Amino acid sequence: MSDAFVLGAVAYDAKVVTIWDGFLRWFAESHFAFDYVLFTNYERLVEAQFAGQVDVAWNSPLAWVESLRLGERVGRSARAVAMRDTDQDLTSVVVVRAESSVKSLADLRGARVAVGAADSPQATILPLLHLAEHGLAPREDFTVVLHDVLVGKHGDHVGGERDAVRALLAGEVDAACILDANALGFVRDGTVREGALRHVAETAPYDHCNFTALDGVDEAALARFTELLLGMRYDDPAVRPLMDLEGLKQWRPGRTEGYAPLARACERFNTVSAWLDGAAARYAAKRR
């Protein structure tokens, strides 16, 4: 399949193989030559795409920002071609124990706030931005307690968030930052007893993953990939189990306005600066 249209994704969970093996078969039945390559972390995926090793990348929101910034640095352009319905208009929440004396963000001054992995947009970067923009500087006005589970996978798993909540329930911290949807999920899976936690803040809406393409991609192949993707139907028994595993009911055209808060956070916290300098240098070296 040397002429296949190749997707790059990150193996954040064993189910990723099941998902993309299934989609590979579905694309083949639609007479579209498709293959995929898995990476251990998003930074490798981003650099591999710039090196021409994959045609489209299934990127986390932070990997999207990394792609955009690297493109600006080396004179290339990135665009979001598609995303899940569940990637749009997410929020994160700051939660405390139900009996906590914390009633507002102002009460977190001097507190211990648990977050997920350092590179998790939903459990760390965006909630910390929300706190900073409401007058509480991370590591100055309150203590940030990281739960660095699977760094490099940008919080696509829930390990760091679950550990943050467990620390909160154990009284080791005063608040925790998690994806709003995970607050409900942790009740369903028994991590949290219903009514044990209380929300004290919620971020502005933001978007999550997208399929990222760079300039120079085979436009005809990309158009066919996107057409097939957007044409998937949840009532199709061949793809419904795969869509359930991937957490969506409909693929939608990509949009980028929902990444503005994360881009702002990355600038404020210099989140990708060190990696960006190295990646740009490596890209330039390979082009010589």
CB 206 within 8 A of CB 258: yes
Spatial CB neighbours of 269, under 8 Å, sequence gap ≥ 6: 125, 128, 129, 138
| Alpha-carbon span 3 to 180, nearest angstrom | 42
CB burial of 253-263 (b: ≥16 within 10 Å; e: otherwise) equals ebeeebbebbb
Residue 223: other Cβ atoms inside 10 A:
12
Q: Pick from 9, 12, 19: which is nearest to 243 by CA?
A: 19
Q: What is the pLDDT of residue 52?
A: 97
User: What are the phi and psi torsion angles at 205 (to 5°)?
Assistant: -60, 150
Q: What is the pLDDT of residue 157?
A: 87
What 3-state class would DSSP assign to 40?
Answer: coil
Q: Collect the ranges in the chain with pLDDT lower than 50.
A: 1
What 3-state class would DSSP assign to 195?
Answer: coil
pTM: 0.95
Q: Do domains 5-87+208-287 and 92-202 have the same CATH topology?
A: yes
**Ranges of each domain in the chain:** 5-87+208-287, 92-202
Q: In CATH, which superfamily holds the domain spanning 92-202?
A: Periplasmic binding protein-like II (3.40.190.10)
237-to-17, 66, 187 alpha-carbon distances in Å: 19, 36, 30
The class of domain 5-87+208-287 in CATH terms is alpha beta
Q: What is the pLDDT of residue 1?
A: 43
Q: What is the pLDDT of residue 288?
A: 81
Q: What is the pLDDT of residue 2?
A: 61
Question: How crowded is the C-beta side of 116, counted as CA atoms within 13 Å?
Answer: 30
The DSSP result for 241-277, as a single string, is HHHHHHT-S-EEE---GGGHHHHHHHHHHTSSHHHHH
Q: Give bridge partners of residue 201 from the DSSP assignment.
A: 94
Give the total residue count for the chain: 288
CB 57 within 8 A of CB 39: no
